[in-house]
Structure 1
Amino acid sequence: MSEQAWPLRLTVVPYVLLTAVAAVTVLIKRDEPGSLTVDLVLCAVLGLWMLVMFTLRPARRTGTRWIVVFIVGFVLVLAVLVVRDPWFGFLTPAGYFYTFGLLPWPGELVGISAVAVLAGIAQSYDIPKTNLLGLLGCAAVIAVNVVGMCLASWLGQRSDVLSQQRKEAVDALTETNRRLEATLAENAELHDQLLTQAREAGVIDERQRMAREIHDTLAQGLTGIVTQLQAAETSEDWRRHVTTAVGLARDSLTEARRSVHALRPLPLQSATLSAAIADVVRRWSALHGIDAQLTTTGTPRVMTPEAESTLLRATQEALANVAKYAQASRVGVTLSYMQKEVAVDVRDDGVGFDPSRTTPSSEAGGFGLVAMRQRVEALNGTLEVESEPGLGTAISATVPTRGASA
């Protein structure tokens, strides 16, 4: 029963049933004024009891003691009516409404059983009770009513318990999801803060390193040059000072070039991009025991340091991801020199994954792959990841060759 249906069944239906049964009683006992009067008085008492004890006392409908007194009185008056006339058994639904709706579990079983006994007595009214068979028949009718209604009460209670458990589970899940969303949002914010701090720390470290390089090389060299030129202005042996200043200038230029080259990855300091990638592939294959082959296509050309560094780093990161996640037995690396672009493709025969079910932060390689994508796109290049469960993974990094000399 819905919560909206209970008030109607509790406050209206019992009066309708009582009125209908009283009308039937008038029709049946119109030739028995004495008995009719007693029945009508009992009906009036029952109606006043319902009115005074329940209908007009909404504030006390939730008080257990008050409700118990009300139902006990209702059952007693109803019992007298049923014993007098069996058709008053049609009032038992009102008793079920009250006991089901007002008494707490398991106390409602007592009230339900009492009303069910009255219903059984009314239903077995015509069964002869002068022999054992008749008595057993009456008892069977009463038992069927009691067991059936108590079973219905238990099923209703069980349904309420399960409904409450489901509601609590849903509430708990909702709260867990809310906390998880808050935690994820907090973690995302912390991740952004860590990236910002790491970026700032890297900038500071690089500035400090460059400051040391400039101080130890260029600044000292320029200071020496200025000193020698100033000495040449007042010295008769000015050629020696000029020669020394020229030597210092050459040394400073060499140091400046070395500082610039130091910004490039170590493999590129003394090798071409193709040779550097070949060395990386060879070392990686030996380290992890996985067959890896490099294939170079097109005409090799000199590229900008940033482009070469980006492609080399992309190769290293892709191979690192293969070692961590792919479970591959073979890896193929292709360095392709095209007319306007240079690309590095790393393909493996590993377990693969479903790219549609990943986010940028959860791709194989995590932040390393994200950083690789950012590095490639900073050069107006593209990074593509192709994979399928069971069919391996292919990572392709492509950068334009503008600014490169043939």
Structure 2
Amino acid sequence: MLRSVPQSWVDAWAHRRRPVVTVGPYLLLAVLTAVTAVVKHAETTSLLVDLALCALAAVWMLVMFTARPSWRDEPRLMALFLAGLVAIMAVLVVRDPWFGCFAPAAYVYAFRLLPWPWLLPGVAAVAVVAGTAQASSVDMSTFLGVLTYLAILAVNVLPMCGFAWFAWRNAEQNEQRKRTLEELREANRRLETTAAENAGLHERLLVWAREVGVHQERQRMAREIHDTLAQGLTGIITQLQAAEHAAADPAEWPRHVDAATRLARESLSEARRSVHELRPEPLQTARLGDALAAVAERWSTLHGVGVEVMTTGTVRAMPPEAEFALLRAVQEALANVAKHAHATRVGVTLSYLEQEVALDVRDDGRGFDQARVRDGGFGLVAMRQRIEGVSGTVEIESEPGQGTGISARVPVAPPGADA
């Protein structure tokens, strides 16, 4: 893989000092040509050959480099350019050693134009020519002379190749740092974008959560109003209607009025407690079974329908939310019996089972067709929501003329589960 050195510090140096690359070699060649003319003015033939070689070098640089800026980004063409220049330089050095002084210009071309790994042989070739110029006075006919020549080449080639390798490594590290910094900048931009998107999502989530909270609170208040005010007002209306019908009976009329008054006070107290999200009053001072019995007794007194309450199994503590949901389920079931069933008997059974607590409310009323009344009124919907809110289930069984049964089941921890 070719990795270009022009992006290294050598490339930056060359760009800042462009005349060194574009003008410097011509000036250096001109100086060396002048020196050759002075030194060899008496040797006409040899001088003409040297001048021709110098002219060839100038034309070569002009055609391959100076006049073709677009070629400088073509590694193969630049390798050909440097190879031709080094070949002309080698002939000149063999003829006149002082042309070894042109080596700096050749090094600049090599570092400026050749990518890695072509840079290494290019620099080595220039170093060989430069070392050959420096060893021009060495007697190559002896073994010692050959060793000396090789040593001079080594002194030129090894340091320059080592410098080229370090320059390439430095360029690679710089490029790696640049890529890393760019990746970090891009990552930061993405993080900022993600943070902005998350902020927007968080804001929308808060709005959604507020809307859900408002909706849930409305549902809760609707259930509370239905379980307290609506049922209480229904009972009050029933008692006042009974009092109206018993207006001619001085003994019966006050009883219905007193019952309506008592029911109004209880409903008001219960409504206040529901608004403040307190437990229903029957659960404040009694266990669930006793609270159900108290609710059933009060309902039976108001409506004149017998209610039998039974508790089976081992009584144990339940979460307040579960007790609250079961108590409300009984209240709703009894309210529906009073409004729709025309029943003569109602049975309420609270069963403490191994994994759950079951509540069954059954009446002998006229029942209804479940196919025609799919979900029931709001009371049944509120009952189902309460029971499902504590992970329970509600089942309703009814047929016309066969009464109605409502079964609510709430899961609880089995006995000894906390041990």
What displacement does 1:231 show? 5.5
Give, in whole Å, the separation in 2 of the partners of 1:53 and 1:211: 91
Of structures 1 and 2, the one with the larger relative CO (CA 8 A, separation 6+) is 2
What displacement does 1:100 show? 1.8
Quote the residue 2:114 is aligned against: 103
Quote the residue 1:236 is aligned against: 248
Is 1:49 the equivalent of 2:60?
Answer: yes
Give, in whole Å, the separation in 2 of the partners of 1:120 and 1:126: 11
Percent of paired sites with the same residue:
56
The residue matched to 2:197 in structure 1 has which SS? helix
Quote the residue 1:90 is aligned against: 101
Contact kept? 1:127, 1:137, Cα under 8 Å: yes
1:106-130, Cα deviation, whole Å (9 max, x unpaired): 2222221111111011112223334
Is 1:208 the equivalent of 2:208?
Answer: no
Alignment of 1:131-146 (within 5 A): 131-146=142-157
Give, in whole Å, the separation in 2 of the partners of 1:39 and 1:51: 18
What displacement does 1:186 show? 3.2
Match of 1:259 among 274, 281, 288: 274
Alignment of 1:5-24 (within 5 A): 5=16, 7-24=18-35
Partner letter of residue 72 of structure 1?
Answer: A
Give, in whole Å, the separation in 2 of the partners of 1:186 and 1:72: 58
Partner letter of residue 176 of structure 2?
Answer: Q
Is 1:128 the equivalent of 2:139?
Answer: yes
Contact kept? 1:6, 1:101, Cα under 8 Å: no
* Structure 1: stretches of 5+ with no match in the other structure: 271-406
Give, in whole Å, the separation in 2 of the partners of 1:148 and 1:242: 118
1:226-258, Cα deviation, whole Å (9 max, x unpaired): 454455556224434432321222222221232
Give, in whole Å, the separation in 1 of the partners of 2:51 and 2:276: 114
Give, in whole Å, the separation in 2 of the partners of 1:61 and 1:183: 43
Give, in whole Å, the separation in 1 of the partners of 2:164 and 2:29: 24
Give, in whole Å, the separation in 2 of the partners of 1:61 and 1:109: 18
Is 1:36 the equivalent of 2:36?
Answer: no
Quote the residue 1:58 is aligned against: 69
Is 1:119 the equivalent of 2:145?
Answer: no
What displacement does 1:196 show? 3.0
Partner letter of residue 5 of structure 1?
Answer: R
Quote the residue 1:247 is aligned against: 262
Look at both structures and tell me which one has the larger radius of gyration over its CA atoms: 2
Distance 1:205 1:143, change over 3 A: same
* Structure 2: stretches of 5+ with no match in the other structure: 1-9, 286-419
TM-score by length of 1: 0.60
1:274-315, Cα deviation, whole Å (9 max, x unpaired): xxxxxxxxxxxxxxxxxxxxxxxxxxxxxxxxxxxxxxxxxx
RMSD over aligned CA atoms reads 2.6
Partner letter of residue 200 of structure 2?
Answer: E
Partner letter of residue 209 of structure 1?
Answer: R
Give, in whole Å, the separation in 2 of the partners of 1:132 and 1:63: 43
Contact kept? 1:224, 1:248, Cα under 8 Å: yes
Quote the residue 2:91 is aligned against: 80
Stretch deviating more after TM superposition (100-109 or 80-89): 100-109
Give, in whole Å, the separation in 2 of the partners of 1:130 and 1:182: 75
Alignment of 1:6-405 (within 5 A): 7-229=18-240, 232=243, 235-237=247-249, 238-263=253-278
What displacement does 1:48 show? 1.0
Distance 1:198 1:81, change over 3 A: same
Give, in whole Å, the separation in 1 of the partners of 2:218 and 2:165: 78
What displacement does 1:203 show? 2.4
Partner letter of residue 256 of structure 1?
Answer: A
Give, in whole Å, the separation in 2 of the partners of 1:263 and 1:122: 106
Contact kept? 2:221, 2:275, Cα under 8 Å: no
Partner letter of residue 272 of structure 2?
Answer: R
1:80-128, Cα deviation, whole Å (9 max, x unpaired): 1111111111111111112222222222222211111110111122233
Stretch deviating more after TM superposition (64-73 or 152-161): 64-73
1:311-347, Cα deviation, whole Å (9 max, x unpaired): xxxxxxxxxxxxxxxxxxxxxxxxxxxxxxxxxxxxx
1:33-72, Cα deviation, whole Å (9 max, x unpaired): 3332222221111111111122112222222332233222
Partner letter of residue 273 of structure 2?
Answer: R
Give, in whole Å, the separation in 2 of the partners of 1:48 and 1:259: 103
